[in-house]
């Protein structure tokens, strides 16, 4: 059962029955960032190219760790909803959250850490990264920002969003439901918590402990607030509505703005073809037909049109003109579920305008 099927059932009042882990959002924006950086690296000066390559490796490590967490979640066999890689914006606050897991009895915010080297947690809550040589001798120590503090801020932001956007949610209910955990996803990383306080130790686990941690959260909430399944989907909908694409200006980040401006000036000096009567994409026949299909389908299913595909995805369809599922799935946001449900209709519209 897809997310849209469940929303439809919720609206119609029919029974919903979640039987397994269900990803509401299973996209990883870091992968798209890597693709942009790979493209930029092709024309970057050698010294900047090396920096870009190093940043690509760091992002790749992060993706690998998140994939390890995704594997555990998928094999938990728990009836949960999962949102991956959320970039939340609320008022003047933002938060990059690796995972939000929604159960009938808890909402779990997961911060995934994939690091080389060992980690030591002190009795004051400081996180120290230790680098060792081949003989096991420490040659460097480096303090890192506390992921616990980071996750506390994420939890607080989600609490404000839910209390503001859900009339049934109160601070007391949030206190019962909201939890956070730090997951170290690199199996080679050793986390030394010998001197850490007891409360700190409870907030840090290894990836292979995640399933048992979630089951304990569920079982321990015997007398607290709990969600009906439609409430679970409402939480997912509210959080997804606050997600924004995290756009990074890589030319500015790597100091390539001046080169880009120079290239643009050179381009302007070249003779440009004269265009007459330009037609905006919104006024093209294919855009109107794709938009009309989206509107009719959203009314049929009782959901918002952008759940089917947003305007950016609509324009990408026109840009790529996909004729197969393999081509359609290249558009960000079109996973197997969307392709299976809407792919045939989209492809048929595209073929009319080829």
- Looking at residue 16, its pLDDT comes to 54
Alpha-carbon gap, residue 74 to 70, rounded angstroms: 6
Residue 268: predicted pLDDT: 54
Is the model more confident about 75 or about 300? 75
pLDDT of residue 148: 93
What backbone phi and psi angles, to 5 degrees, belong to 73? -65, -45
- For 170-229, the pLDDT digits (tens) are 999 998 999 999 999 988 888 999 999 999 999 999 999 999 999 999 999 888 888 888
Answer whether 81's CB lies under 8 Å from 232's CB: yes
User: What local confidence, expressed as pLDDT, does residue 193 receive?
Assistant: 93
What is the distance of C-alpha 257 from the center of its chain?
28
pLDDT tens digit sequence for 226-240: 888 889 999 999 999
pLDDT tens, residue by residue, 310-343: 888 888 898 889 888 878 888 877 877 788 888 8
Average pLDDT over residues 236-251: 85
Q: What domains are defined for the chain?
A: 3-241 (no CATH), 274-352 (1.10.150.80)
Question: What was the pLDDT predicted at 135?
Answer: 84
Least confident interval from 33-37, 44-48, 232-236, 264-268 = 264-268
Contact by Cβ (8 Å): 23, 66 = no
What pLDDT is stored for residue 82 in this prediction?
A: 96
Residue 248, pLDDT > 50, answer yes
Q: What pLDDT does residue 240 have?
A: 92
What burial class does residue 156 get, using C-beta atoms within 10 Å of its C-beta: 0-12 exposed, 13-18 middle, 19+ buried?
middle
Whether the predicted pLDDT of 118 surpasses 50: yes
Mean pLDDT value across residues 23-33: 87
Q: What is the 3-state secondary structure (H, E, C) of the chain?
A: CCHHHHHHHHHHCCCCCCCCCEEEECCCHHHHHHHHHHHHHCCCCHHHHHHHHHHHHHHHHHHHHHHHHHHHHHCCCCCCEEEEEEEEEECCEEEEEEEEEECCCCEEEEEEECCCCEEEECCCCCEEEEEECCCCCEEEEEEECCHHHHHHHHHHHHHHHHHHHCCCCCHHHHHHHEEEEEEECCCCCCEECCCCCHHHHCCEEEHHHHHHHHHHHHHHCCCCCCCCHHHHHHHHHHHHHCECCCCCCHHHHCCCHHHHHHHHHHHHHCCCCCCCCCCCHHHCHHHHHHHHHHHHHHHHHCCCHHHCCCHHHHHHHHHHCCCCHHHHCCCCCCCHHHHHHHHHHHHHHHHHCC
Q: pLDDT grade, residue 11 (50/70/90)?
A: very low
């Amino acid at each position: 059962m897809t997310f849209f099927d469940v929303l439809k059932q919720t609206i119609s009042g029919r029974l919903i029955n979640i039987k397994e882990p269900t990803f509401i959002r299973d996209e990883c924006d870091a992968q798209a960032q890597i693709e942009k950086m790979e493209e930029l690296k092709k024309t970057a000066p050698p010294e900047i190219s090396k920096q870009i390559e190093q940043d690509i490796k760091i992002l790749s490590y992060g993706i690998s760790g998140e994939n390890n967490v995704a594997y555990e979640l998928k094999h938990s066999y728990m009836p949960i909803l999962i949102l991956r890689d959320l970039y939340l914006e609320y008022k003047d606050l933002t938060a990059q959250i690796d995972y939000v897991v929604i159960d009938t009895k808890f909402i779990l915010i997961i911060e995934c850490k994939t690091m080389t080297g060992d980690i030591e947690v002190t009795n004051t809550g400081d996180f120290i990264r230790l680098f060792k040589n081949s003989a096991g001798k420490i040659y460097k120590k480096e303090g890192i920002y506390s992921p616990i503090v980071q996750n506390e801020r994420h939890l607080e932001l989600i609490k404000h969003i839910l209390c503001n956007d859900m009339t049934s949610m109160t601070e007391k209910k949030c206190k019962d439901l909201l939890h956070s955990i730090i997951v170290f996803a690199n199996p080679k990383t050793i986390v030394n918590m010998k001197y850490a306080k007891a409360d700190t130790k409870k907030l840090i686990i290894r990836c292979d402990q995640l399933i048992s941690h979630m089951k304990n959260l569920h079982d321990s909430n015997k007398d607290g607030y709990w969600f009906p399944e439609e409430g679970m989907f409402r939480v997912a909908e509210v959080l997804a509505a606050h997600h924004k694409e995290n756009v990074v200006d890589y030319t500015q980040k790597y100091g390539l703005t001046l080169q880009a401006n120079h290239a643009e000036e050179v381009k302007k000096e070249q003779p440009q073809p004269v265009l007459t009567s330009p037609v905006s994409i919104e006024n093209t026949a294919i855009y109107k037909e794709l938009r009309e299909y989206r509107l009719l389908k959203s009314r049929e299913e009782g959901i918002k049109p952008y759940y089917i595909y947003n305007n950016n995805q609509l324009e990408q369809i026109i840009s790529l003109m996909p004729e197969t599922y393999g081509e359609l799935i290249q558009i960000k946001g079109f996973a197997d579920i969307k392709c299976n449900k809407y792919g045939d209709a989209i492809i048929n519209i595209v073929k009319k305008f080829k």
